[in-house]
């Protein structure tokens, strides 16, 4: 591993915390050092208090901050002396420790200090860096790990056997560190957990970390344990059969979790090799590389598809390990978070795409740790009681709960057709805001610019080509795990013609897009909607033209009326599958691509109205926007309409032709 330190870059970080922020981010940028909130750093600074007296303040990473993006506000300032005194106590409960940490902060609005704050305090160096580096874990997590660590590092590190993080670990280090520290010490190895480096200078502390990690990497290379293998480069199939199988697996996982979960599947030659190993059963069924992964990955991945068996084993694990605890624990949901499958590769479950991708990153790194440990000797994770203690540690659970209550469509997946503009684009936004993952399809290349969130996948495709359409659907299903909601929004408004002069091509094109493409999408989606954990939902964007057709709009009105009947019949046919189908009839939505200023002015003129008057030409005198339609469309797939199917709702400001 190379040092990323750059003096010119470092100089851009000013103020007493500047160098601490800079080198923390350098550590955070290296996935093999820390991932997603793992690791922590600190600096001890002398500051004057209100009365002008100098005191030592430990600035330590606040809980919930990620090293890669940390800012000054992410460090909690805690008075050093009280922390040092705490380390002399025989015992300290988690609750009281957190209370003490918070009580000694000099800034009341700072985040809660890392649970490893006391450990940072007792190390007598200005800068302290802590990571969960993969290379080191490949060595510590083997039967002779401690001896190997001694062989690699000699007296340059202090070695601390595994103990639960928090006060007990700080206490053990407070005893062990002063006893074992020597003139050559630049770091501390926590067995099965991670690595500390330190120095009075920020660059030196950071580069000590890089040096220690490089030594571990070199050792693995010398032992011929560094290279991880890959398998063939075959493509993952994206067909009806595999999409349905994945959606089934997602349904089982969501049922075990008692809430809908996303299940993105991901397959690379590296992942396929790991899963295809003859000993995959043995090496994967032990535990995570470092204990704090467990709150996101659970102790074990599921190999294959037996979710019920997995959940049963999880219940047993909970009963077995929770018995001796004096507090009454509540079991977490027993659904797996990591699924290793020869067909789908690595699937990770989460209530949001961001969460599922964090689990993916953690497990990809874990595969490297496991395989290198196997090359070296034999992977040996911590035993279940130790892991259980971290999984059900109140302080770790608090991290997961910090997100608040889940949004309305948490863990659900929607497909929106015609999503690049107008009502479709607004529907994507409304769904993302409510926590859904969204597959957006459109013929326009702008589909790729609708959202940068990981919960959005834009696919360019021609709706008239049924093969392209099903391919896009299956691609979306593999990306997120299934399908819960279908928004049939794409449509065209062909040029006006009286029937006696209506060209076949205009009629046929209107039918092809407004009806045929929707039929195709409904048919292809049906088996997937049947597998939705909360019941499938279809929302069809119809038109005021269905109940109140307009002169010259035969091609459009007839096509929308056909689509309307299609939707009503789907409501009849699919109710036994627990799929709801509802229809929305908007009118006069002018903030869409079709309505240029020029067209609007022409129409307003024809009605002898101003553009503003023309836009509000309805009983309530209101203007209807894409946003209004999208919000209602999305709500019709939510709990308010849970008992409604086959309904047609106007959103037109009121029309005397319809009422
Ligand atoms: Zn740690």
What average pLDDT does the structure give for the chain?
A: 93
- How remote is the CA of residue 190 from the centroid of ligand 1, in Å? 8
Closest CA relative to residue 436, chosen from 460, 453, 419, 450: 453
| pLDDT more than 90, % of the chain | 85
Give Dmax over CA atoms of the chain in angstroms. 99
Residue 326 has pLDDT above 70, yes or no: no
* pLDDT, mean of residues 629-657: 97
Q: What is the pLDDT of residues 182-193, one digit of tens each?
A: 999 999 999 999
- How remote is the CA of residue 376 from the centroid of ligand 1, in Å? 24
* pLDDT, mean of residues 376-398: 88
- Measured CA to CA, the distance from residue 601 to residue 599 in angstroms comes to 6
Q: What is the pLDDT of residues 53-102, one digit of tens each?
A: 999 999 999 988 999 999 999 999 999 999 999 999 999 988 899 999 99
- How remote is the CA of residue 177 from the centroid of ligand 1, in Å? 17
- How remote is the CA of residue 453 from the centroid of ligand 1, in Å? 29
- How remote is the CA of residue 4 from the centroid of ligand 1, in Å? 22
Residue 640: strand, helix, or coil:
helix
Task: List, as one string, the DSSP characters of 488-521.
Answer: E-----PPPB-GGG--HHHHHHHHIIIIIHHHHH
- Quote the tokens at residue 557: 């009105």
Which helix (DSSP H) or strand (DSSP E) does residue 266 occupy? strand 265-266
Residue 401 has pLDDT above 80, yes or no: no
Higher pLDDT, 332 or 35: 332
Residue 325 has pLDDT above 70, yes or no: no
**CB 537, CB 415: distance < 8 Å:** no
Place of tokens 């949004």: 407
Q: What is the pLDDT of residues 156-179, one digit of tens each?
A: 999 999 999 889 999 999 999 999
Q: What are the counts of helices (DSSP H) followed by strands (DSSP E) for the chain?
A: 25, 18
Most confident listed range (325-339, 403-417, 474-488): 474-488
Binned at pLDDT 50, 70 and 90, residue 399 comes out as low
Instruction: Determine phi and psi for 185, rounding to 5 degrees.
Output: -70, 125
What residues does 456 pair with on adjacent strands? 438
pLDDT value of residue 231: 80
Tell me the whole-structure pTM to 2 decimals. 0.93
Closest CA relative to residue 619, chosen from 649, 587, 597, 648: 587
Higher pLDDT, 229 or 158: 158
- How remote is the CA of residue 198 from the centroid of ligand 1, in Å? 15
Q: What is the pLDDT of residues 11-32, one digit of tens each?
A: 999 999 999 999 999 999 988 8
Binned at pLDDT 50, 70 and 90, residue 230 comes out as confident
Instruction: Determine phi and psi for 141, rounding to 5 degrees.
Output: -90, 50
- Quote the tokens at residue 65: 């901050």
- How remote is the CA of residue 290 from the centroid of ligand 1, in Å? 8
- How remote is the CA of residue 460 from the centroid of ligand 1, in Å? 44
Residue 402 has pLDDT above 90, yes or no: no
- Measured CA to CA, the distance from residue 215 to residue 223 in angstroms comes to 12
Q: What is the pLDDT of residues 136-160, one digit of tens each?
A: 999 999 999 999 999 999 999 999 9
Pairing status of strand 127-131 against strand 40-48: antiparallel
**CB 33, CB 194: distance < 8 Å:** no
Residue 233 has pLDDT above 90, yes or no: no
133 to 30, 136, 137, 198, 410: CA distances (angstroms): 9, 6, 6, 15, 32
* pLDDT, mean of residues 585-590: 93
- How remote is the CA of residue 300 from the centroid of ligand 1, in Å? 20
Closest CA relative to residue 42, chosen from 135, 115, 102: 115
- How remote is the CA of residue 568 from the centroid of ligand 1, in Å? 57
Residue 579 has pLDDT above 70, yes or no: yes
pLDDT value of residue 324: 65
Instruction: Determine phi and psi for 253, rounding to 5 degrees.
Output: -70, -40
- How remote is the CA of residue 365 from the centroid of ligand 1, in Å? 16
- Measured CA to CA, the distance from residue 515 to residue 511 in angstroms comes to 5
């Amino acid at each position: 591993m190379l040092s990323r330190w750059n003096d010119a870059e470092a100089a851009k970080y000013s103020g007493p915390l500047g160098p601490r922020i800079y080198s923390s981010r350098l550590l955070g940028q290296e996935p093999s050092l820390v991932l997603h909130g793992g690791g922590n750093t600190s600096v001890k600074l002398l500051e004057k208090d209100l009365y002008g007296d100098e005191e030592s303040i430990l600035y330590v990473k606040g809980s919930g901050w990620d090293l890669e993006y940390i800012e000054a506000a992410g460090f909690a300032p805690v008075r050093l002396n009280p922390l040092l005194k705490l380390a002399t106590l025989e015992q300290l409960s988690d609750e009281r420790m957190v209370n003490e940490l918070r009580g000694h902060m000099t800034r009341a609005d700072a985040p809660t200090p890392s649970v490893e704050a006391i450990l940072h305090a007792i190390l007598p160096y200005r800068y302290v860096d802590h990571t969960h580096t993969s290379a080191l874990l490949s060595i510590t997590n083997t039967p002779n790990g401690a001896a190997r660590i001694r062989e690699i590092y000699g007296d340059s590190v202090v070695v601390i056997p595994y103990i639960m993080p928090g006060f007990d670990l700080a206490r053990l280090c407070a005893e062990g560190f002063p006893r074992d520290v020597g003139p050559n010490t630049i770091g501390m190895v926590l067995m099965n957990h991670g690595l500390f480096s330190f120095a009075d200078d920020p660059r030196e502390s950071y580069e000590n970390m890089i040096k220690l990690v490089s030594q571990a990497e070199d050792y693995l290379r010398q032992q011929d344990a560094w290279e991880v293998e890959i398998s063939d480069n075959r493509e993952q199939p994206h067909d009806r059969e595999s999409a349905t199988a994945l959606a089934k697996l997602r349904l089982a996982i969501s049922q075990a979790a008692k809430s809908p979960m996303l299940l993105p599947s991901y397959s690379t030659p590296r992942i396929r090799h790991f899963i295809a190993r003859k000993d995959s059963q043995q090496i994967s069924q032990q535990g995570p590389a470092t204990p704090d992964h467990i709150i996101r990955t659970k102790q074990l991945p599921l190999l294959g598809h037996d979710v019920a068996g997995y959940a049963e084993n999880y219940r047993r694990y909970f009963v077995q390990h929770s018995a001796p605890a004096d507090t009454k624990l509540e079991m977490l949901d027993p659904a797996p978070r990591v699924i290793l499958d020869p067909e789908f590769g690595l699937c990770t479950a989460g209530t949001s795409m961001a969460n599922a991708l964090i689990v993916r990153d953690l497990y990809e790194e874990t595969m490297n740790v496991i395989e290198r440990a196997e090359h070296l000797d034999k992977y040996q994770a911590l035993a279940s009681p130790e892991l259980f203690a971290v999984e059900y540690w109140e302080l770790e659970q608090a991290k997961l709960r910090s997100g608040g209550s889940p949004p309305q469509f948490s863990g659900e997946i929607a497909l929106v057709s015609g999503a690049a503009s107008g009502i479709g684009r607004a529907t994507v936004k409304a769904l993302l805001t409510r926590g859904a993952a969204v597959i957006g399809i459109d013929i326009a290349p702008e589909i790729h610019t609708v959202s940068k969130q990981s919960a959005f996948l834009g696919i360019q495709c021609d709706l008239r080509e049924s093969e392209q359409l099903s391919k896009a659907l299956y691609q979306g299903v593999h990306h997120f795990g299934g399908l819960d909601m279908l928004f049939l929004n794409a449509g065209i408004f062909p040029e006006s013609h009286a029937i006696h002069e209506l060209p076949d091509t205009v009629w046929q094109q209107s039918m092809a897009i407004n009806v045929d493409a929707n039929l195709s999408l409904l048919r292809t989606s049906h088996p997937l909607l049947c597998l939705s954990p909360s019941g499938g939902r279809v929302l069809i964007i119809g038109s005021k033209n269905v109940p109140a057709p307009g002169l010259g709009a035969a091609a459009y009105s007839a096509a929308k009326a056909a689509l309307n009947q299609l939707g009503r019949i789907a409501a009849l046919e699919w109710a036994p599958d627990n799929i709801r189908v509802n229809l929305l009839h908007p009118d006069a939505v002018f903030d869409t691509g079709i309505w240029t200023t020029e067209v609007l002015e022409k129409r307003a003129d024809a009605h002898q109205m101003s553009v503003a008057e023309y836009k509000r030409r309805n009983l309530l005198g209101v203007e209807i926007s894409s946003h209004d339609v999208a919000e209602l469309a999305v709500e019709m797939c939510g709990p308010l309409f849970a008992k409604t199917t086959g309904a047609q709702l106007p959103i037109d400001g009121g029309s005397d032709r319809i009422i």
